[in-house]
Structure formats: C-alpha cells, structure tokens
Chain A
Amino acid sequence: MTVRIKSTSLFMVACSLLLSACASVEPWVKPYERAHLADPIMNFQRNPVSSSYMTHVYQAREGARGAEGGHGGGCGCN
C-alpha cells in the first residue's frame, strides 16, 4: 500500500514538474530568427499534389503504408 502511495506521489510530482517545465519553455529560436525556416524551399509539402501522387505510386506497389506526412503543421514562421 505504502509503495502504491509513493508511486502515485512520485508520478504526480513528475507530472507537476513536466507541466511547470512546459509552462516556462522559452522559444530558443526567436520569431525574428525564422527567416530561413519561412523560405518556401524549407516546406516538407512544397508541391502537395506531386507528393500525394508519389505516395500513391509507392503505396500501390509496396507492402508498407502510413506515416507519409502531410498532416499540415509547419514551423509557425508566417
């Protein structure tokens, strides 16, 4: 029982530390330092129609599938 309470307490403390760490995370790349990241050549989905087509070409001929990207997202540079 004691072990269980200790484990729970440790878990709660770890969660609190993690949350407080998240709250205090400072972006180490400032907005004014993101010019390179905002360049169109830095986009994983620079040509979405072409990327989607190549994914289809491979999926139709391979056993593997999934995690091809294209979830949106980005670098938040704009």
Chain B
Amino acid sequence: MAVVVVVTRLIKRCLLVMCLLCGAVPTLAGVLPDDRADALYHSYDGGGVEITGPSVLVLKKVGQNVALSGNYYVDSISSASIDVVTTASKYSEERTEYSAGADYMHGNSIMSVSYTNSEEDDYQSDTASFGVSMDMFGNMTTVSLGYARSWDTVENNNDPTFSKDVDRQNFKVGLSQVLTRDMIMEVNYELITDEGFLNNPYRSARYVDPNSSIGYSYEPEIYPNTRTSNAIAVRSIYYLPYRAATSEATVAAYAEYRYFDDSWNITAHNIEIGYVHPFPAGWVFEGRYRYYTQDAADFYSDLFPRQDSQNFLSRDKELSKFTSNTIGFTVSYDFVQNGWYAIDRGSINFAYDHILFDYDDFRDLRDTNAAVGKEPLYDFSADVAQVFVSIWF
C-alpha cells in the first residue's frame, strides 16, 4: 500500500513538473523526426540459441505538428541453451510485437504517446508510455521526461492453469546539451519498478543432494515479487575534422558510460566507444567496442548447499557475476543521395557484432566427469547480424 502511495505521488510530481515545464518555457522551435521507413532482418546465434526475424518501422509527419510511427517486430526463437540442455528439452517459439506512437509538436516542446503489444504463447505484455521533450536556451539544451507502464501476464506451457501478473513502471529524465560547435553530450536517468511474478516459471535452482546419483538435484526458483532499479548513462559524440592523404573528410567519435544498480543488489557498469567514418561515393563505416560487467543478485547461487536453503533462490546466469565484450561494425551505402522520385535519400546497411560472455559463477554441467561444484565455468560467444534498408521520403 505504501509503495502504491509513493508511486502515485511520484507520478503526480512528474506530471506537475511536465506541466510546469510545458507552461514556463517560451515557444521557440521544436523539430519532429524526418519521414522515414526502415526494414530490418536480424539474426542472433549464440549459446545454442538462434533468433531471427524482421523489424519494420515507418515514421510519417501529418501536417506541420504531428508525426505518427508504427513498428512491427518478430523474434523466431529456436533454443537449445545451456539451461535447456541441462534441465529441459529444446523448444521453438515466436514473439510478435506491434508498436504505435504519435508525436505532437507545440512550440519548442514535443509530446509523445506510444502503445506496444508483445505476444508469445506463454507471455503477453502491453505497455503505454508518455513523454515530453523541450528545446531551450537557444536550442542548445533539450530536456525530456517520460513515463511508461506495462502490464504483463506470465503463463506456463506445462500448466494451463498457471497465470501470473507483472506490473512495471518506468520513469525517465534526460538532458541533451550542445557543449561546443563539435560536441554534444546527453545524460539519461531511468527508474524502473516491477511488481508481480518476476522469475521464469521453467527455470530451476541447483542444490547439493547426497541422495542423488549425480550429487545434486533441482528445485523451482523463487524470486522476490518486487524489484526497483536505477540506471544513469552519459553519452557524448564528437565531430573530428580529418585530413586524408587525398582529400578532407570528417569523422565522428562517440563514447558512453552507464551505471546500474537495483534492489536485488546487482551493480553493473558498461562502456562503449565507437567511430563513424564517411567515405566518398556514399559509403559510411562505423566501428564499435562495448564492455559490460555486473555483480550477482543477492539470492543467486550456482549451487545451493541444500534444498530450501533460503527464501529466494535463483540460478539464472543473467543474475550471476559475469563480463561481456562486444566488437562490431556497420557498413552503410547511400544508394539514393540526391533524390529519386518520392525518395529523398536511401541507404542499405549491414551490421555485425561478436559478443563474448564469460561467467564467473555459473558452471557448465555438461561436463559430467567433474566433481559437484567444480565443473568448468561457462562461457559462450554470439554472432549478431543485421541487414536493413532505410528510406527517407
């Protein structure tokens, strides 16, 4: 009850701040996003999991002050992950997501609403969001506020009577600032609260069992039914003059740092650096590197000492201590640069990222010869590829 009261107060305060900001800032000139359409095909292959599917985004202005957007996204999943191989059997499923949104520009502020529906055979999610952003101080500063609420339903394919709810709320504050004629920096903060059934109904925790022939047994995971997390990220992009041997060109370099913590005692940090280099004749190359590290949740263990050893139990490797490293690139080619019929500009793009996951406390149970709790630590790599076409009209 106390949580509801606090959250209601927070919502009221956010709405009050939004109204004050909307009313207090003199009208200058906001900018709606350009009309564009993107069609993307994605492929993820790693750790025994293959996920492919399309994503289509269309964004179109209606009149001078309104922009509408729609997104269709599919994940076709075939999973024989380490969890599935050791405790269940291979499965396939599909997740389909539809989103619709509208932006309304009034003076120097843009108000946005959106709705997203995601469906798979054992998980449904609906999300409504509202946001406002304002340019101020001669369009050098953009402040944004956002609120989203999700209503999820978790089901279990092995138990038709199983149905649990999850409610989620997101509060966002952002600041984008022009620092120099060559540099922009933005800071974003997001608070997320969850309440309901937060674990995976299929996953199990492992405990030492002297009565088992393999030395351990499994029991259902038990998570707390609330979670609150904080994330703050700082990003910056810098425009670099670059003098090549034969001609002058320009490149951009960017960097990001994010800090995360939550009420489950997970602390995470990630940094990303990247480099965008346009070449003559419409080619653009981008290279990037990302490092991520996190600590384990309080109630995570690869191997609990006995059955029911504590109130909350998890052996989800995403809640364990691990690091990941990603190296990737995107190559883009502008096949329409100066207009062609109704198309102002068009590009075809290929992106590839290679991710290495190294777990510090999640063991590979496929090695059945090792002593219990002494199995080798698990690691895997994933290949992520995207092909997409973008058209501006």
Contact = CB atoms under 8 A, between A and B. Distances in A.
Nearest to B294: A63
Contact of B270 (A42, A53, A64, A77): A64
B284 interface: yes
Contacts of A3: none
A62 B31 contact: no
14 contacts: A26-B138, A41-B251, A47-B349, A50-B40, A50-B351, A53-B55, A57-B384, A63-B266, A64-B270, A65-B229, A69-B235, A72-B112, A76-B31, A76-B142
B254 A44 contact: yes
Given A36-B182, A47-B330, A50-B388, A67 B190 contact: yes
B184 A62 contact: no
A78 B142 CA distance: 14
A74 B135 CA distance: 9
A1 interface: no
Looking at A36, A77, A78, the one whose CB has the most chain B CB atoms below 10 A away is A36
Interface residues of A, number: 42
A12 interface: no
A33 B181 contact: yes
Contacts, number: 174
A66 B110 CA distance: 21
Contact of B55 (A36, A41, A49, A61): A49
Interface in B37-63: 38, 40, 42, 44, 55, 57
Interface in B323-338: 324, 330
A25 to B, nearest CB: 5
Interface size class of B (residues with CB under 8 A): 35 or more
Contacts of A52: 55
B282 to A, nearest CB: 12
B57 A50 contact: no
Contact of B233 (A36, A63, A69, A77): A69
A71 B133 contact: yes
B142 A74 contact: yes
B176 interface: yes
A54 interface: yes
Contacts of A71: 131, 133, 144, 146, 172, 174, 188
